[in-house]
């Protein structure tokens, strides 16, 4: 992998402004890594290096003329193929491009554009973002770079996003998260990821799965890069971009992390629970207080999640109203899940909304007694795709992949994942950190403190073995 693409965002930002590198050099490095790695891993639905090169030249011209438009200026950023981007069709993982209005750009893309961030292309997604494994029968499933021999799942639904980071063709990756679609692929590819709380970032011009639960989010190689990317995009910081204020690491001594004894640790693949527990033991030795606790709301909400929650109903309504001709094109597995939702009585939908709100309120009160709650991000090792080709094998694996992350969405929480270990199959293990709504900065501060204590993912896990290191 090209060396410059291994620098931190802070280092690259300084180098761009000092004239030690250029946005064009970064775009060229991203293209070289794509040629060596990302192309074979299938990260991108759309890759147009000439468009990326023009964006990089514009960023360089702005630097040369003394115009510093924001911290993302000149940095390569991949975009999940749910986001509207002018000139780039939105497929949302389906076989057919969406109508023109879905190419219009919403506030998240507008924020990046206003800073002259460099968009590298559109990364693959599960169809309509409705899945946690990363599979897509129409366009193919990206390959996880952490297994050099087998085609393992990259995690979904932002399946190409984590691969673009691991393979070095992007430094930040935009995703979405309805039940774990940022955190699962980040965890499975050895990256950090942040699920913002509902309402923190606009989801306008992002193809919907479940508007009640959909959130925009980002992935990066480290928590430090994640924190910088969050602040740069977040609308609350727009007025202060020229004085970038990235959350500082929380004092690690006295940090109180709740470790739930129920639900999240069940049925973990070998090495996952052990890897997270080992990381927690390490930070405990450095002053963190681990607080045994329970989150009974997880047990209470999971039955609603297992039967489709709100997502299946809301996706059916969107397709029926906006894209009715798509029904004959959609993967039969997804159609089956939507059709089951189509017969759901209105009173049951209302009941689910009410129960979710009640449990979210209860969970928030429980989290108020600690700084954050920590769990394994994904309880299973990324499966070999051939092993889950049959529907009867895919569905339980998909449900288990989503189990731990989906709880945060259904209980209206914010959540962050960071890489902490390799499991028994030598695949990345993520640790999930959860907090209440509007706690993104606090979670990033905690993540920064833990990353300082544990090391970055690259320091703890090494490099993905399938990635060309040259």
Largest CA distance in the chain: 62
- Alpha-carbon gap, residue 259 to 249, rounded angstroms: 20
Which of 157, 159, 187, 269 is labelled catalytic?
Answer: 157
Yes or no: say if 215 and 196 are a contact pair by the CB < 8 Å rule. yes
- Alpha-carbon gap, residue 152 to 142, rounded angstroms: 9
- Whether residue 181 lies in the annotated active site: yes
- 288's tokens: 């963190």
Cβ partners under 8 Å of residue 389, min gap 6: none
| Residue appearing with tokens 């051939």 | 386
Sheet with 192-195, edge to edge strand ranges = 44-47, 118-123, 76-80, 172-177, 215-220, 192-195, 414-422, 428-435, 372-376, 256-260, 289-293
| Distance (Å) of CA 39 to CA 35, 51, 59, 174, 284 | 6, 17, 25, 19, 41
- Whether residue 80 lies in the annotated active site: yes
Which of 78, 164, 181, 445 is labelled catalytic?
Answer: 181
Which of 45, 80, 122, 195 is labelled catalytic?
Answer: 80
- Whether residue 439 lies in the annotated active site: no
| Distance (Å) of CA 221 to CA 162, 383, 388, 439 | 9, 22, 28, 21
- 44's tokens: 């991108």
| Residue appearing with tokens 């980040």 | 186
List, by residue number, the catalytic residues.
Answer: 80, 157, 181
């Amino acid at each position: 992998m090209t060396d410059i693409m291994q620098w931190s965002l802070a280092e690259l930002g300084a180098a761009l402004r000092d004239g030690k590198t250029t946005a064009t050099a970064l775009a060229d490095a991203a293209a070289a890594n794509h040629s060596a790695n990302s192309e074979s891993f299938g990260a991108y639905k759309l890759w147009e290096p000439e468009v990326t090169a023009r964006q990089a030249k514009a960023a360089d011209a702005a630097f040369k003329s003394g115009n510093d438009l924001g911290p993302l200026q000149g940095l390569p950023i991949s975009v999940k193929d749910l986001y509207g981007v002018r000139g780039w069709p939105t497929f949302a993982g389906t076989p057919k491009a969406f109508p023109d209005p879905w190419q219009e750009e919403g506030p998240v893309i507008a924020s990046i554009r206003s800073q002259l961030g460099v968009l590298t292309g559109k990364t693959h997604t599960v169809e309509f973002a409705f899945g946690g494994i990363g599979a897509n029968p129409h366009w193919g499933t990206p390959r996880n770079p952490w297994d050099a021999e087998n085609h393992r799942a990259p995690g979904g639904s932002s399946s190409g996003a984590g691969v673009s980071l691991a393979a070095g063709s992007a430094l930040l990756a935009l995703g979405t998260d309805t039940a774990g679609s940022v955190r699962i692929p980040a965890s499975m590819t050895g990256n950090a990821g942040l699920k913002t709380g509902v309402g923190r970032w606009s989801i306008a011009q992002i193809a919907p799965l479940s508007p009640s639960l959909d959130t925009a989010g980002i992935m990066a190689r480290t928590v430090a890069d994640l924190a910088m990317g969050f602040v740069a995009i977040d609308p609350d910081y727009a007025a202060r971009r020229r004085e970038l204020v990235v959350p500082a690491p929380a004092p690690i001594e006295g940090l109180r992390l709740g470790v739930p004894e129920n639900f999240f640790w069940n049925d973990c693949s070998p090495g996952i629970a052990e890897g997270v527990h080992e990381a927690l033991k390490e930070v405990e030795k450095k002053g963190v207080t681990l607080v045994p606790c329970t989150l009974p709301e997880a047990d209470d909400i999971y039955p609603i999640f297992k039967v489709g929650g709100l997502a299946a109903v809301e996706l059916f309504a969107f397709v029926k109203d906006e894209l009715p001709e798509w029904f004959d094109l959609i993967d039969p597995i997804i159609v089956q899940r939507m059709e089951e939702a189509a017969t759901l009585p209105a009173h049951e939908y209302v009941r689910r909304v009410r129960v979710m709100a009640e449990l979210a309120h209860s969970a928030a009160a429980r989290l108020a007694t600690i700084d954050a709650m920590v769990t394994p991000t994904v309880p299973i090792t990324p499966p070999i795709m051939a092993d889950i080709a049959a529907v009867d094998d895919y569905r339980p694996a998909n449900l288990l992949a989503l189990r731990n992350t989906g709880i945060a969405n259904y209980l209206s929480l914010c959540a962050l994942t960071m890489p902490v270990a390799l499991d028994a199959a030598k695949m990345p293990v993520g640790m999930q950190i959860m907090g209440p709504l509007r706690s993104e900065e606090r979670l990033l501060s905690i993540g920064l403190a833990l990353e300082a204590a544990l090391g970055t993912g690259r320091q703890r896990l090494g490099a993905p073995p399938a990635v060309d290191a040259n």
